[in-house]
Structure 1
Amino acid sequence: MDGPNNKKKKNSNRKYGSSRKSVLKKTLKQEQVTFTAPVSDDPVVAIIGGGISGLLCALQLQIRGIRSTVFDTGIHGLGGRLGTRTVDPSMVFDHAAQFFTVSNPVFADLVDQWSHKGFVCQSEGVIGELEAGGHFNPFPSSPPRYIAVNGMRSLADSLLLQSSLIEVVRPCWISSLEPYNGMWHLSENGKHRGQFDAIVIAHNGKCANRLLSSSGLPLIAKQMKRLELSSIWALLAAFEDPIPLPAEAAAVPFEGAFVKGVESVSWIGNNTQKLFNSQNTGPHCWTVFSTASFGKRNKVPQENIPTSTAEKVKELMLTGVENALGLSTGSLKRPLYSRVQLWGAALPTNTPGIPCIFDPLGRAGICGDWLLGSNIEAAALSGISLGNHTADYLKSGGSRPDEFSVGLHDEFQPLQGHDIGQFPGLESSKDISVARIQVGA
């Protein structure tokens, strides 16, 4: 969708010339884009990435009266790592983010709104730490854990139900960002996808680096390239009968467990118990996550996973489940449905510890969980922050860029914690911090 002013401005707003050939040549050398003309009276923002961070950025812009278009690659729906796979009504898997906790008051207010609208609820199931051999140590019930009521993706789908200033384009893979005549022109494999007053990058990894490599945003590109990401395998497995649980957990079957001492498994979660409790009489659906070291050692292009690799990973992870539960090798009944998925850019391992990045000269920003941590709360706070910051900039008319530069030179620090995410406040009764489990946001 084009921006509000469909006529291209006559004057060039890049400092080195107006011809398209000159723009392209200089952009490839990563000369800084500099827009100088006033912002449109009715600006529109392109948001590339429809995960929780990008969606909340769009919603915050809407609150401030600014239109946006969200471009997302999702075939089945929005949400990014708020991923849910529905095989049939009785087989539902959260195959990325499992749940989230709340520590920030701004996020707490937002979660209260979601709860009131019926988007999320507290999870009452038992989770804990599972040591190799079957020793299960349950966690205290505090802090509250939240899940989306119909699988994590339903939260993303619900957020835009009443949106009025947000357009969604999916599935769409933006392949080119071109600054020309005072606007950002977006393309998907040569197909024009509109012109915009500002852009937001709300995803990361190789695709984001490729997109930024010739965009004319060298400072943003440099910061994005400093981000380091782990790889995690996810195994979705549905069993006809309940999985045999350790004696310590048999009285109160656990909903999920952080696994310790098993190289191929770091988390196992019972989706059926979490989403349906005792109301489902169908298959028992589990999500299993590998460790980051296992993901790194078995990494392949996630868009084209060889059948042999998929089968090997599945068998190793099923064996890991047996080891974690203290079962003899080969005793676990074969799943009636199974699927493996590689999250090649699963989780950040370093962070600048800032809410967002914004380049006022290029009218471009970045949001995402990795800027603050590795969880849904971090993603939400980042999206809200960038939405507000971008709105402030656009409403200023763009005439005072020096006042709006954020995060372009901040140093990165290692992100402490376990392999698959952060859950602030979640600790075992042994006072062992496990504040990091969640593939995604």
Structure 2
Amino acid sequence: MYASIPSFSSSSLVSRALKPPKPSSHCLSFKTLTLTCTSQTKPKKRATTNAPKPTSKSNRKPSYGTSRRSVLKKTFNQEQVMFSAPVSNDPVVAIIGGGMAGLICALNLEKRGVRSTVFDTGIHGLGGRMGTRIIDPWPLIFDHAAQFFTVNDSRFAELVDCWLEKGLIQEWQGIIGELDVGGLFSPFPSSLRRYVGVNGMRPLADSLLSETCMVNVVRPCWISKLEPFNGMWHLSENGKPCGEFDAIVIAHNGKCANRLLATSGLPLIARQMKRLELSSIWALLAAFEDPLPLPGGAVTSFEGAFVKGVDSVSWMANNTKKLLRSQSSGPHCWTFLSTAAYGKRNKVPQENIPTATAEKVKAGMLEGVEAALGLSKGSLKKPLYTRVQLWGAALPTNTPGIPCIFDPQGRAGICGDWLLGSSIESAALSGMSLANHIADYFQSGGAHPEEFAVGLQNEFQPLEGHDVGQFPGLESEKKQMNEARAYQLAS
């Protein structure tokens, strides 16, 4: 559930001075809190200064039961942290979020000689929305978020070539296309190369840091507080210290990121994160004993389809065909993803989905599958396994169209797919950009921080794409398909 990336060049990273907006009837003012550190002799232990511990709202225990209005009020009233101490000779960066953007950020920091620690909440593994679920003892296998990815940018192409050489990914050569309600399937041309993880998307994510020596991974860990003190960022999980760092990277989004930033002392970054709007998507994992009754002739071989004209389903894919091509028998594992409208209409707290809601969503999505395939209602055989999952912060619906955000005064940045689009490629490019930006900032010694401010004032624009994400190059394939269809109708 990722997925085109607006074109951008190095000019996108032109630095802007870090100037808080002037107070007006439409703009909230920001206070300034300066933190200093006088000793840099030991990177891990800083000499204590006489500067008092900040007493701003950024140090109060965050409330996780507050309303959005309350969180917004805290966000815009908090004081701006301004680190004035020189950057350490051996800086360490905390990366909060182990999805594609955070992992690629860590890899590229290591390429520049910068150490980092990745904090991720994943119980089963890294990857965020690059999720793969394996159900034993069959086994059943499902990519239940990101379905595949394409390549458009040369920098991402270098990464993908490396993953191919290591055997981490493979081309998905199965037929995909559009499925109109009633069972009318139109395959896309096969000119665009599509990729998937060899054993699913999550194993790819888990393998990315396997050869690193300057990256530490801590999971499962839910960072609940960011506290600036003595020239460093102090991180903690429910009161338990998680280390101190020279800079921080926020590589996840949604309510948790907003709460974390609401009292962090980073109002400029928090404001930009608050502007982000995210969709909600339901995923239905279903295993069938027999192949699905796909409509007509050669169409029976399709492995993935963007569904049109069905309210409850926007995508369907045969994971067994996609990931286990050598398996000729056994359960057929399908992933069905809902439309954003259906997700919004049936949204509940994703950590505690009521049983009644889960059953309602499952039934509604299976009815949608029947409609898409042109089957009569209730004719689809009952799956031998089902599971529903809500991605409450699935995909961005707006974007600033920049590769990263960085606040040099607070030594904090943001990376993620939403900054450029909604694809695995955009996530990787964002992680690369922020890593290089931070490394350049460290290399400068932080003497002129205003030169490194980026993305703090950019406006957001609506983002177009499929409910399941964007795929660079796919639109040109759809254009070819539509032109061919028009030609057939005219001849």
With normalisation by structure 2, the TM-score equals: 0.84
**1:38 aligned to 2:114?**
no
Rounded to whole Å, the distance in 2 between the matches of 1:424 and 1:19 is: 48
Aligned residues: 425
**What is the deviation of 1:90?**
2.8
Residue aligning to 2:186: 137
**What is the deviation of 1:20?**
4.4
Residue aligning to 2:48: 10
Residue aligning to 1:160: 209
**1:148 aligned to 2:197?**
yes
Counterpart selection for 2:349 from 267, 285, 301: 301
Counterpart selection for 1:291 from 339, 349, 357: 339
**1:230 aligned to 2:264?**
no
Rounded to whole Å, the distance in 2 between the matches of 1:4 and 1:94 is: 45
Residue aligning to 1:180: 229
* Counterpart residue identity of residue 430, structure 1: M
Query: Equivalences for 1:320-339 in 2 at 5 Å?
Result: 320-339=368-387
CA contact (8 A) 2:60 2:263 kept: no
Q: Secondary structure at the match of 2:190?
A: coil
CA contact (8 A) 2:91 2:245 kept: yes
Relative distance call for 1:246 and 1:192 in structure 2 (3 A) is: same
Rounded to whole Å, the distance in 1 between the matches of 2:172 and 2:313 is: 23
Query: Equivalences for 1:16-415 in 2 at 5 Å?
Result: 18-21=52-55, 24=58, 29-88=77-136, 90-250=139-299, 252-415=300-463
**What is the deviation of 1:8?**
3.0
Q: Secondary structure at the match of 2:149?
A: coil
- Between the aligned residues of both structures, percent identity stands at 71
* Counterpart residue identity of residue 56, structure 1: I
> Structure 2 unaligned runs (5+)?
1-40, 62-73, 484-491
Larger radius of gyration: 2
Cα RMSD of the aligned pairs, angstroms, is 1.7
CA contact (8 A) 1:135 1:248 kept: no
**What is the deviation of 1:148?**
0.7
> Structure 1 unaligned runs (5+)?
433-441
CA contact (8 A) 2:58 2:79 kept: no
**What is the deviation of 1:109?**
1.1
Rounded to whole Å, the distance in 2 between the matches of 1:25 and 1:290 is: 40
Rounded to whole Å, the distance in 2 between the matches of 1:180 and 1:258 is: 50
Q: Secondary structure at the match of 2:83?
A: coil
Task: Render the CA deviation track for 1:299-328: whole Å, top value 9, x for unaligned.
Answer: 000000000000000000001000000011
**What is the deviation of 1:282?**
1.8
Relative distance call for 1:147 and 1:22 in structure 2 (3 A) is: closer
Q: Secondary structure at the match of 1:236?
A: strand
**What is the deviation of 1:394?**
1.2
